[in-house]
Structure 1
Amino acid sequence: CCTSTAEPPRRGGGPTVATPRPAVLGYSAGGEGGGGGCRGSTLLFLPFLKPCTFGFFTPPRRTKLQLQRRTFLRGSSLLLRSQSDMEDGPSSTSCFRRLTDCFLGASLTDEKVKAYLSLHPQMLDDFVLESVSAETLDRWLKRKTNDTSAKEVSRYQDTNMQGVVYELNSYMEQRLDTGGDNKLLLYELCNIIKTATKADGFALYFLGECNNSLCLFTPTGAKDGPPSLIPSGPIAFGTTIAAHVAKTRKTLLVEDIMGDERFPDGTGQDSGIHVHSVLCLPILTAIGDLIAILELHRQWGKEPFNLSHQEVSLTQTKHTTNGRGLAKQTELNDFLLDVSKTYFDNIVAIDSLLEHIMIYAKNLVNADRCALFQVDHNNKELYSDLFDIGEEKEGKPVFRKTKEIRFSIDKGIAGQVARTGEVLNIPDAYADPRFNREVDLKTGYTTRNILCMPIVSRGTVIGVVQMVNKLSGSAFTKTDENNFKMFAVFCALALHCANMYHRIRHSECIYRVTMEKLSYHSICTSEEWKTLTQLNLPAPIYKEIEMFHFDISPFEEIWPAVFIYMVHNSCGKTSFELEKLCRFTMSVRKNYRRVPYHNWKHAVTVAHCMYAILQKTSGIFTELEKKGLLIACLCHDLDHRGYSNAYLQKFDHPLAALYSTSTMEQHHFSQTVSILQLEGHNIFSNLNSIEYEQVLEIIRKAIIATDLALYFNNHQQLSELLTSGGLDFNNYSHRDRVIGLMMTACDLCSVTKQWQITRLTANDIYAEFWAEGDEMKKIGMQPISMMDRDKKAEVPQGQVGFYNAVAIPCYTTLAELFPPSSPLLKACK
């Protein structure tokens, strides 16, 4: 029953058969002559091919005759019943002997030997035990263990497809946790899908250079070498099925690859089998970037792939790529936490931060070297002082900080990226005219490919990151570009932090130099404070200084001595160290500006008014309060510029940015603390920590209370307490309100002096007001009447209004609180 036919040629540029005629051998159910022997129906159909010559060629278009031959080959496929279908006995043995005799009688091939041994496993066991040495067995075992693809797939014996997929998902999750080379990982995945879909073979393609071609992946190169990529062809229609899927990025299920005219080159490679049905699917990232093409094969005589196979394959590839994406995202999150920790733990170590950024960037795209350049737009240059020297320490790249290098923004690949803001992915650096070969000549390093990315902040290129030489693969891929674009955001953050820190350090240096210069001019000299310790007050002062109407104007040269006397007379001579008190007083004098009213004279005048009140209210205030109030009065207008709070806030003065409320008052307190912190100036150094905090709080509240905007509410609250009889000096809140009223009374005490002194002081006040009004007019703003020098005629009316609305009510309430202070009210009226 022998028949012969021509076999259809294999597709896709691989080896083909030169018109052999296979003899198809079959045995009928009755054996020879139709009588007995083997039970059942047909046992075996085997096509035997004559020896043929193999070669590589571009397959021609199919002819009608070839399609007819293909149809016949489908019907004469290998059908082998399992050994369990054959029963023991002389007749079955005879039938099987005839079969093997015929089988071995033909020309012997590897396939025939494998088929025979599969039917006689005991013979193989006997042969190995008798003829193979222990060393050979050990070598075989090592090869078997190292074969990651075949051995992992072979352990899955579950014929239920869902069971296979479930087990393989667990395996892939473990593999994802261990990391490793993505290409080998995907190759293992393909082996898994091959088993799950009962495919006879597969091919895995990755993108080639410039991402416009495909390369076939082989897990081992020549002589068990490393994995390799073999160019397969361009990504285009009308060639192979893999190129078609790469072009469309859509899954294709083809039942008959030889009959599909869309793919004249078929699979494009020799898989070792006669490919009949093909399932080809793209492997994509979560954002749609093409990673690879998986091509599953089934040979002639088997059922074509169906939708269930397609679903399993898609599910498995998506599960793996999503898992890999999740692993990448987790790695990115860990990186961000690491960078944040580095930044906040040691904010000055900006080089360490940049190293973390560059190390992660290298790992992200698997580059050999990297460089980060910052852009100097003023000089149109790129510069860097941190370099990847290609060495490793404890498994991490080593970056060396060297002398800063600079080069023109008009040169090189990095320069073009800095100018244009465009990404450059150069697969062959030496073929690109923009590449500067002199760098390689000087360093001895060979640059193959480059991925260069701009770092953009607020629409401006502030830096350039350059990755050199892809380690796995021939060039950087489109996926590398997309990943790097996302990462560039964090590079921008790092560069922004670096630039900000540089500006802060620069400003800090300027600040230190400025403070040094100011200290020289604002701190008293040793001659000044030593002279103060020797000063004595004229005899007439001792009596007059106890009176509210005392005028300090004639004693300008000894104003510091007047203050020292008031402190000693009120708090005791041992309350402060004399040297520190003299230093403090003279330095405070130096820090008052030469403005018409809020000056050193005004400070001493206010301090004298407070001294007079304290002298006449003995036993009411503590020693700590008396110290704090006298110091607060002396310092309450420190560094006053002659402008109101409203003016500073309206014109966005830096002080207004520092202090949103009571702007100048908070600045006065800050200056007070600054002087106290100078060497040899801390007059409260003899206090314990609790007392020190208390006295500073007394000073702060007292100085803030001089903001006239706070007076009105404070006065109203005090008046209500007096009217209701609920005022309690043991209540800290009530006590603070009383001190606030005292500070206002002292601050306005010029209205309680003799008429001539009061008139001159009013002129000084209006000089400041009008200067502020003039500044407002310069920018086209109309000042209020009080600050408009063109409305001098309204000054008397304005002063009468001020006395009636502010001054007289203030001193009236003070007199109710402390009757000995009534001379202030009388003088004001």
Structure 2
Amino acid sequence: MCTEEKLQFFLIPPYCKKLGVLNEIDHETTEDMSLAKIEVSNPSRILQLVKDLTDKSTKKLEIKINRYLKRECESNFVFMINLHSVSEEAVVQVIQEKILDENIRKVLSEGTINNILTFQSNITKSCDQLDLKIQELVVEIVPEGTGEVIIVPVLAKEHREDDISPVYLVCIVTSSKDGIYISKVVSETFRYCLSLLLNTRQCEEERRLKTECQSLLLVARKLFSHLGHLSDLLKEIMTEARRLTNAERCSLFLLDPDHMHLVAKVFDGVSPADHNTEVRIAADQGIAGHVAATGEILNIKDAYKHPLFYKGMDEATGFKTRNILCFPIKDENGIVGVAQLCNKIGGHFDYFDEEVARAFSIYCGISIMHSLVYKKIQDAQARSRLSNELMMYHMQVNQQDVLDVTMCPSEHEVPGFSLFNFTPRKILWKESPCFVIEMMKDLGFIDTFRIKIDTLARFVLYVKKGYREVPYHNWQHAFSVAHFAYLALKNFQLVEKGYLSKLEALAYFVSCLCHDIDHRGTTNSFQQQSNSVLASLYSSEGSVMERHHLSQTICTLNTEGCNFLDSLSHDDYVKCLDLIKDMILATDLASHYKIHAKQLNMAQEGFNKTNAQHRYYLASLLMTCADLSDQTKDWTETKKVAQLIYAEFFAQGDLEKKMGKEPANMMDREKASIPDHQLEFLRQCCVCIFKILATIFPSAKVLVNAIKQNILCWESSKRIFDKYCVEGKTSYEVLTSEELELEVQNTLESIKE
């Protein structure tokens, strides 16, 4: 603490007090300052000074101004104190003509800079009337016993015209001139130099900000290169934080919201994993806890005097903490962690360090958030791979299974197998893969495309295992659909008459076989309403389940030893996959209804074999007919299929009720009227579709007639449904009753008579 005897301060604000002919700065608007007289300065020397102030560095400018003031005031010692109103700091960067290696900074008390404006007009002031930090700064710089110190504040307008603030304190030590003379010299000097000095200071600030921005961009690039490994990312964050703020040590804590703790992932620049330790701090304790709770930066100049500082860590490590800059790390949802920097090299953490920390914390939050998300994705992918490995292990088709199909001694000849009225569900489940191979042989695919039998057999067995044990959309359904494709190709002579190429025919048969792989027994709308994983993957594209079936088909084809299409040329291979894609997606009835009118026009106008659109419409029609082919079988088979379909529908309805949703009537076992739903489906959908097919291929009229026969059966069943539903039975219970079968059979016999 200085005393009146040691230092004498003369405080004469030249720009705001009337001195001689100089007017107060507040009156600049009423009197042109350019007309003010120079009372004590030599005009030629001031002009020479202004001429020499060409440097782009405020430090070099201060050297020249110090040299000029020292000569004009006949002083032994001159320096300037920069006042920063934003950061409330006093900074000395040049003493006399020496540029300091490290700026001397003092954080001022709140309101100190504004208080300088309240100085009275008397000349002499005692040192205890100045801010303590300014006193300490002056005492630190001025050699003891040097003599009297005169301090002159230099004021300038801020951005607002009516706002004036001190920007410099000019310190003149041991001068032979009196205070009034010195005040006038400083006033006249800065009248011409201040704008240049402030503009240069502003340019330096902009250069500093530009450099910081470039540094932060480089930091961002470094951080995002470590997203794959959180520990490396956090180490890089702390390395860059130390570099940007010139700190000795750093620690980084991530918030564990489940246990309300801050967990040190990088402590003093070293990952805890390197020492097999973990540092945990309660989220509401200590400096880091306070910052996590408030979300505000905490800049502590003297750590040992702060009530939240825990000295035990220093005692345990032997490290002496002087000051701390602790700042929160946030993502879009809130605080994810806290970074703590210790011991600013060469002084205290200042306002600019805080600004860097704020900007840096944004990059930290973004990079940590993306790293955690990336880690979750990696974990999910790893779990998915493990699940796939487990699934493939249980789905594994061993060589003996393949041999059982390829070397099967049975002839697989069943009467009527190639007729439309044949019921493919009669084929034994175990023998069905053999029949798939036989159908492909009969259609000429094996020889035409040089397909390896063992590879094809393995593919078919994997496809068979890919179907779930749901009531209807299972392997039996897939086999039935593929059987219809076989019937259509054979009976309509689709390849021989040029309706389909051989490659299109192959894609058609394979698509029918694979069109429902891994069906979950639920509809597309259910997948979307339940926000399922499948919906999240495919809902933006539409046809959720169909796209999943396609994906599983390609996955199965890519399974080792299953690619029976590998003998195709590259172009044919790509074309075949594109055809399979279009055909599987065509099994979505919603897609069918979009092109139904165009298919009808195509049939009425006549199929044009050279028209690409016609070929696409026909392929889509053939897929839909194959998918609905169960409705073209006899009544007994159709009723069994209906039992399977409604078992699946009602299971979905039960799930929807558990989810708090109201299922559609056809999905609700309590409300469904099965004969009415079946009649609506057959009349409005099936008959229309198969009539288009029969228009193109007249021999398909037998299919239309079969559907009409089933319509009669469902109409005759309504009486028995109504009878038993009145007695309290559900529609599904009636469907599975023997009485229904007898009633319909009697109706059919009466029709024949």
From 623, 640, 643, the counterpart of 1:743: 623
Superposed CA deviations along residues 50-101 of structure 1, whole A, max 9, x for unmatched, are xxxxx62567999xxxxxxx9xxxxxxx99999xxxxxxxxxxxxxxxxxxx
From 432, 448, 452, the counterpart of 1:559: 432
Write out aligned runs for 1:160-171 (5 A).
Answer: 163-165=51-53, 167-168=54-55, 171=56
* Matches of 1:425 and 1:265, distance apart in 2: 24
Q: Is the 8 A contact 1:280 1:295 kept in 2?
A: yes
Paired position in structure 1 for 2:700: 821
The structure whose Rg is larger is 1
From 483, 487, 501, the counterpart of 1:612: 487
Shift of residue 696 of structure 1? 1.0
Superposed CA deviations along residues 590-627 of structure 1, whole A, max 9, x for unmatched, are 11111111111010000011111112223322222122
Q: 1:444 to 1:217 in 2, by over 3 A?
A: same
Q: 1:416 to 1:60 in 2, by over 3 A?
A: closer
Paired position in structure 1 for 2:253: 373
From 372, 376, 395, the counterpart of 1:503: 376
Write out aligned runs for 1:788-803 (5 A).
Answer: 788-792=668-672, 794-803=673-682
* Matches of 1:502 and 1:814, distance apart in 2: 53
Q: Does 1:706 align with 2:578?
A: no
Superposed CA deviations along residues 105-136 of structure 1, whole A, max 9, x for unmatched, are xxxxxxxxxxxxxxxxxxxxxxxxxxxxxxxx
Q: Is the 8 A contact 1:811 1:825 kept in 2?
A: yes
Q: Does 1:383 align with 2:289?
A: no
Paired position in structure 2 for 1:569: 442
Q: 1:308 to 1:624 in 2, by over 3 A?
A: farther
Paired position in structure 2 for 1:589: 464
Paired position in structure 2 for 1:159: 47
Paired position in structure 1 for 2:717: none
AA aligned opposite 1:625: E
Q: Which has the higher contact order (CA 8 A, sep 6+)?
A: 2
Q: Is the 8 A contact 1:362 1:467 kept in 2?
A: yes
Q: 1:690 to 1:283 in 2, by over 3 A?
A: farther
Write out aligned runs for 1:77-476 (5 A).
Answer: 159=47, 163-165=51-53, 167-168=54-55, 171-172=56-57, 187-192=59-64, 194=66, 200=73, 202-205=78-81, 219=95, 229=104, 235=109, 244=112, 246-248=113-115, 258=123, 278-281=152-155, 293-295=168-170, 300=178, 301=181, 303-306=184-187, 309-310=190-191, 312-314=193-195, 316-336=197-217, 338-340=219-221, 343=224, 347-386=227-266, 402-403=274-275, 405-410=277-282, 412-432=286-306, 434-458=308-332, 460-473=334-347, 475-476=348-349
Shift of residue 304 of structure 1? 4.6
Deviates more, 1:481-490 or 1:348-357: 348-357
* Matches of 2:344 and 2:521, distance apart in 1: 67
Aligned-pair identity (%): 28
AA aligned opposite 1:405: T
Paired position in structure 1 for 2:474: 599
Paired position in structure 1 for 2:661: 781
- Secondary structure (helix, strand or coil) at the match of 2:277 reads strand
Shift of residue 281 of structure 1? 4.5
Q: Is the 8 A contact 1:282 1:293 kept in 2?
A: no
Paired position in structure 1 for 2:558: 677
* Matches of 1:80 and 1:424, distance apart in 2: 48
* Matches of 2:41 and 2:279, distance apart in 1: 74
Q: Is the 8 A contact 1:450 1:476 kept in 2?
A: yes
Q: Does 1:548 align with 2:420?
A: yes
Q: 1:56 to 1:766 in 2, by over 3 A?
A: same
Write out aligned runs for 1:606-755 (5 A).
Answer: 606-615=481-490, 616-619=493-496, 620=498, 621-660=500-539, 661-725=542-606, 727-755=607-635
Q: 1:313 to 1:754 in 2, by over 3 A?
A: same
* Matches of 1:291 and 1:327, distance apart in 2: 22
Q: 1:311 to 1:826 in 2, by over 3 A?
A: farther
Q: 1:365 to 1:294 in 2, by over 3 A?
A: farther
Superposed CA deviations along residues 281-301 of structure 1, whole A, max 9, x for unmatched, are 589999x9x998543669544
Superposed CA deviations along residues 29-64 of structure 1, whole A, max 9, x for unmatched, are xxxxxxxxxxxxxxxxxxxxxxxxxx62567999xx
AA aligned opposite 1:721: M
Q: 1:524 to 1:205 in 2, by over 3 A?
A: same
Q: Does 1:56 align with 2:29?
A: no
Paired position in structure 2 for 1:521: 394
* Matches of 1:545 and 1:668, distance apart in 2: 27
Paired position in structure 2 for 1:139: none
Q: 1:56 to 1:425 in 2, by over 3 A?
A: same
5+ residue gaps, structure 2, are 13-19, 21-38, 709-753
Superposed CA deviations along residues 237-267 of structure 1, whole A, max 9, x for unmatched, are 8xxxxxx5x24587x999x872689996699
From 679, 683, 687, the counterpart of 1:804: 683
Q: Is the 8 A contact 2:80 2:95 kept in 1?
A: no
* Matches of 1:705 and 1:463, distance apart in 2: 51
Provide TM-score, normalisation by structure 2: 0.75
* Matches of 1:787 and 1:13, distance apart in 2: 92
5+ residue gaps, structure 1, are 1-11, 16-54, 63-69, 71-77, 83-155, 173-185, 238-243, 390-397
- Secondary structure (helix, strand or coil) at the match of 1:642 reads coil
* Matches of 1:702 and 1:225, distance apart in 2: 79
Deviates more, 1:290-299 or 1:817-826: 290-299
Shift of residue 319 of structure 1? 3.9
Q: 1:295 to 1:625 in 2, by over 3 A?
A: same
Q: Is the 8 A contact 1:408 1:415 kept in 2?
A: no
Superposed CA deviations along residues 766-802 of structure 1, whole A, max 9, x for unmatched, are 222222223333344333332232344x322332222
* Matches of 2:389 and 2:706, distance apart in 1: 46
Paired position in structure 2 for 1:111: none
* Matches of 1:444 and 1:291, distance apart in 2: 44
Shift of residue 666 of structure 1? 0.6
- Secondary structure (helix, strand or coil) at the match of 1:685 reads coil
Please give the root-mean-square deviation of Cα atoms over the aligned residues, in Å.
Answer: 4.3
AA aligned opposite 1:628: A
